[in-house]
Structure 1
Amino acid sequence: MATPIPIIDSHIHLYPSSELTSLAWYTPSSPLANQRSVTEFKTAVTPANLASLSGFIFIETDRKNEESKDWTAPLEEVSWIRRVAGGDEPRPDEGHTAADAPLCLAVVPWAPLVLGAEQLEKYLVEVEAAAGPRVWPKVKGFRYLLQDKPNGTALGDGFIEGLKLLGRKGFVFDAGVDQHRRGRVQLEELVDMVDRAHDGVEREEEKVVFILNHLLKPDLTIVSQTDPTFIAWRTAMFTLSKCRQTYMKLSGCFAELPDSLKVRSAEDIFSAILPWLAVLVAAFGPARIMFGSDWPVCTVGVGEEAWQKWHKVVSMMCDMAGLDEDAQRMLWAGTARKAYNIDA
């Protein structure tokens, strides 16, 4: 290829050590219970790949919210990423500099969709104030994790109205479900949620765009493609891909692997997950697939070389699929720019 293909990492989490206790999942013994900021991220990418890195998309890190009733910590997270993405003078030891601001191409904060459209509208006003005029244009969408919520959460009337509000305002919704641990019901509800969110919305440009996280977290420990779990996942992938407002993140797979495979080579991991990757390419195609590392979650059980290892797995997938240069440019960066409406 004539020129290096630019990379946008469409899914990373950042947080300073000073705010660890505001994270809902935090425990002192967690392997992620240390600072994970821009400096650490750039180290993970390594100098060789940094030359191709156009930037990253910041995804909320699950701050405490008292079942969506207390917005203090999520808004503090917006203030934190404002200092990163806006080039503000960083606070001491937060792990970034003003020069890092251009790397943050888009911001996806948490949002209380479960509370319905009226409360969501109020929350968006507070996010805009916390982000400030320089960073608010980088807020391209919102996320409310469904993977650990009660069955039926995504199908409530308030939730659906919240999704429609995001669509009217031009925001995307990052959808995180977990087939591996929660089963088929999460896939079925996701399909139903997409249908309901678009039902009755006449203007295509007002239909909320869904960006599906981590291949829907399939169970990558199974070994047979005739397993009902694999068949249910494959069916959901092809069903969801029929909606043109859905995109898939090629990310998060390390967390779904058996521990024994996480420490193996990129080549071994690629071979093991090839059936899932083949379905992904067939269902969505490179124009609706985007590269993401899920850093730093990807390091758990894998090590600090996880970003490089996943980059290699995705590169092998591109070769396997016979993607030409234009298709690869979409997968590595172009799809993320399109889905998140990031200016070139």
Structure 2
Amino acid sequence: MAADIPIIDAHIHLYPESEVDTLAWCTPDHPLHGQHSLEEYKAASAGSTPKGFIFLETDRKNDLAAGEKDGSGWQHPLEEVAWLKRFATGQPKPGEGHTADDASLCAAYIPWAPLPSGAAAMERYINLVKQEAGESWPKVKGFRYLLQDKPSGTMLTDKFVESLRLLGRKGLVFDLGVDQHNRGRAQLEEVVEMIDRAHDGVPEDQRVTFIINHMCKPDLSIYNVQTSPSFIAWRTAIFTLSKCSRTYMKLSGAFPEMPESLRKRSPEDIFDAIAPWLSVVLAAFGSSRIMFASDWPVCTVDVGDGAWAKWKAVVDRLCWMASLEDDEKRMIWGGTALKAYGIDGEE
């Protein structure tokens, strides 16, 4: 990677110790329990620390029904927005692991949103986020509602599709998190239908942009990709998704989908093992629609403190093996993220 190509890390999670108990998934015995701060992130990426990052919501506890009724079920996601406001405006509390000077590193942040509740509830929620975000509101470029662990059909309800259309009208993106490894091909087929319904009959400039997380979490333990039904289904879905308008893909989230033994190997060995998947993503989306993302600190589980650098080396090797030009590399390392999220005037 050329030293003068700036990095925008398109997918990281941060949370202070004081709010760990609001995370829906973080039990005391979880390996990611405890504070994960920018200070730790900068140490993990030392030597190649990005010029900016995009923060993704951390799945705070919520109650959709209570949110629709009186907003009480949205308390913890809104607390996350309040914390992000402190970060993005350079007003940290002591012990949170960042300083006022770090504010510029937050290129954008993507809060949680209650998309299954429909457009009316989304309107109320977005107004509350705007109020809570205050002067940091311009950094809110979209929303996420994790679908990977939700019941089949969640993303295909009329209310969910209405919410997606609302985001499109407001110029806000939707970060899409699904999981082919654990949920199978059916979830990817639902994604294709969801995007078709969200875009059907909508003018191009009002269509919601989908930013797909973690390559759809494919099963990276497959040995013979030529005959694997799982790989073939994933590949078919990726090429289909790439044909949808306003769709982008994050090169991220690979470590949890690998066998444990592979995670501990060198970046070169990891690249060789997952090259079929990386090649499909590059061929389908091209350098102008894929973006580097670390998924820190999730990437460190069972990998360790060197996970960020290891994943960067894998993506660097992809760029080298594909003989990409510098302008193509600039898109993968940061340009695509700026374009997809509409940062700094990019469309």
TM class, shorter-chain normalised?
A: over 0.9
Within 2, Cα distance between the matches of 1:3 and 1:228?
40
Compute the displacement of 1:79 (Å). Answer: 0.4
Within 1, Cα distance between the matches of 2:248 and 2:181?
20
* CA spacing shift, 1:183–1:2, aligned 2, 3 Å: closer
Counterpart for residue 77 of structure 1: 80
1:187 aligned to 2:184?
no
Unaligned runs of 5+ in 1: none
SS at match of 1:105: strand
Within 1, Cα distance between the matches of 2:152 and 2:3?
47
1:112 aligned to 2:109?
no
Counterpart for residue 292 of structure 1: 293
Counterpart for residue 21 of structure 1: 21
Counterpart for residue 61 of structure 2: 64
Counterpart for residue 175 of structure 1: 176
SS at match of 1:247: strand
Compute the displacement of 1:67 (Å). Answer: 4.0
* CA spacing shift, 1:2–1:20, aligned 2, 3 Å: closer
Q: Amino acid of the residue matched to residue 179 of structure 2?
A: D
User: Which of 89, 96, 100 in structure 2 is aligned with 1:86?
Assistant: 89
Query: Deviations for 1:158-179, whole angstroms, at most 9, x for unmatched residues?
Result: 0000000000000000000000
Counterpart for residue 128 of structure 1: 130
Q: How does 1:241-320 map to 2 (within 5 A)?
A: 241-320=242-321
1:39 aligned to 2:51?
no
Compute the displacement of 1:260 (Å). Answer: 1.0
Within 1, Cα distance between the matches of 2:318 and 2:234?
19
Query: Deviations for 1:75-107, whole angstroms, at most 9, x for unmatched residues?
Result: 00000111111112x112111111000000001
Compute the displacement of 1:204 (Å). Answer: 1.0
Query: Deviations for 1:309-329, whole angstroms, at most 9, x for unmatched residues?
Result: 000000000011110000000
Counterpart for residue 154 of structure 1: 155
Within 2, Cα distance between the matches of 1:257 and 1:64?
28
Compute the displacement of 1:3 (Å). Answer: 5.5
Compute the displacement of 1:244 (Å). Answer: 2.7
Q: Amino acid of the residue matched to residue 58 of structure 2?
A: T
Within 1, Cα distance between the matches of 2:64 and 2:189?
24
SS at match of 2:337: helix
Unaligned runs of 5+ in 2: 68-72
Compute the displacement of 1:224 (Å). Answer: 1.2
Counterpart for residue 333 of structure 2: 332
Number of aligned residue pairs: give it.
338
Q: Amino acid of the residue matched to residue 192 of structure 2?
A: V
Within 2, Cα distance between the matches of 1:2 and 1:259?
31
Q: Amino acid of the residue matched to residue 213 of structure 1?
A: N
Query: Deviations for 1:117-138, whole angstroms, at most 9, x for unmatched residues?
Result: 0000000000001101x21000
Q: Is the 8 A contact 2:294 2:308 kept in 1?
A: yes
Q: Which aligned segments of 4 or more residues in structure 1 are displaced greater than 4 angstroms?
A: none
Counterpart for residue 100 of structure 2: 98
Q: Amino acid of the residue matched to residue 33 of structure 2?
A: A
Query: Deviations for 1:251-296, whole angstroms, at most 9, x for unmatched residues?
Result: 0001100111111111111110000011011000000000000000
Q: Is the 8 A contact 2:5 2:330 kept in 1?
A: yes
SS at match of 1:39: helix
Within 1, Cα distance between the matches of 2:3 and 2:122?
44
Stretch moving more, 162-171 or 253-262 = 253-262
Within 2, Cα distance between the matches of 1:186 and 1:76?
30
Compute the displacement of 1:26 (Å). Answer: 1.1
SS at match of 2:45: helix
Q: Is the 8 A contact 2:62 2:77 kept in 1?
A: yes
Within 1, Cα distance between the matches of 2:162 and 2:339?
24
Within 2, Cα distance between the matches of 1:29 and 1:271?
34
Identity among equivalent pairs (%): 63
Within 2, Cα distance between the matches of 1:3 and 1:218?
31
SS at match of 2:33: coil
Compute the displacement of 1:2 (Å). Answer: 7.1
Structure 2 length as normaliser, TM-score?
A: 0.96
